[in-house]
Amino acid sequence: MVTDKDESIITHIEAFRTMILKCLKAVGIVLIPMLFAAPKCLDMFIKLILRGHDISLNYFSPAEVFLIQIKFALVLDVIICFPYIAKQVWNFCVPALYENEKRFIKSIVFISSFLFILGSLFCLFVILPLIINFGMSFSTSNIQAVLGVSNVVNLALWLILAFGIMFQMPLVTYSLIKSDIVEYETIKSCRPYVIVILLILAGILTPPDIISQVMLFVPTYLLFEVGLLFASTGKNKKEDLEKDE
């Protein structure tokens, strides 16, 4: 005998399945033109990374560039389809949310997207040129750099993703304090532990070189302090309102 609860579960599963199929269909459709656009976009991306340097990248196997182009096409595909995917996920989740939860999630998604884009652009225009300059500084008349296209592109894509993720730090800090999951004083007193955790994350998310790790850790920790500052401001306003009441 099928109960109302069973029907509700089946309905949710069917809605989830429909959402996944729509997202996969969108990704599959957009992937086709991205495969044709990938070579040109990849060339522009490499020029942006290597700007200011008269060097070229090398490949060491017949299919290496082809595989990089496919990977780049997938990245472009996900970026272009992200708004549609986010809309489908939102439509799936919104019936179960209260009005105040809807407003909170909308603001979180907007701020999170902004921070991710900010982190990605910061990496692309500030960090990657510094890393390239640092690597090229070791060149001498007897030692010449031979850069592989896979190494440079994979490093760039991975660092862009890492910076986009780590730039969520002020949002995480503010949300934890704002929702009363963690007290402001507790996080403030845990700065040494936060530093250790951020260093570990920087080590995991970046290649095994100290330069990339430090370049990721420093802005992330500063953003952590920014999150604390905003949380402190919100806390003071809340206390002032309670006093007025």
Q: Which two tokens stand for residue 119?
A: 């982190």
CB 207 within 8 A of CB 158: yes
Distance CA 158, CA 165 (A): 11
pLDDT grade for 98, boundaries at 50, 70 and 90 = confident
Residue 132 placed within a domain: no
111 Cβ partners below 8 Å, 6+ apart? 171
Distance CA 167, CA 113 (A): 10
Which residue's entry shows tokens 């969108």? 26
Residue 17 placed within a domain: yes
Residue 240 placed within a domain: no
Answer left, alpha or beta for residue 226, where phi above 0 means left and psi between -120 and 50 means alpha: alpha
Residue 88 placed within a domain: yes
Q: Which two tokens stand for residue 28?
A: 């599959």
Closest by CA position to 20, among listed 81, 83, 85, 74: 85
Range of the domain at 56: 1-96
Distance CA 30, CA 81 (A): 8
For the entire predicted model, the pTM comes to 0.76
Q: What is the pLDDT of residue 2?
A: 45
Distance CA 154, CA 104 (A): 35
Residue 27 placed within a domain: yes
Residue 117 placed within a domain: no
Question: Does residue 94 register a pLDDT over 80?
Answer: no
Residue 26 placed within a domain: yes
Beta bridge partners of 148: 58
Which residue's entry shows tokens 């999150």? 227
How many domains are contained in the chain? 1
Residue 111 placed within a domain: no
What is the mean pLDDT of the segment spanning 195-211? 79
Say what the alpha-carbon torsion angle 108, 111, 116, 120 is, to the nearest 10 degrees: 180
Answer left, alpha or beta for residue 180, where phi above 0 means left and psi between -120 and 50 means alpha: left
Give 71-86 pLDDT, tens digit per residue. Answer: 999 988 988 888 888 8
What is the percent of the chain where pLDDT is above 70? 89
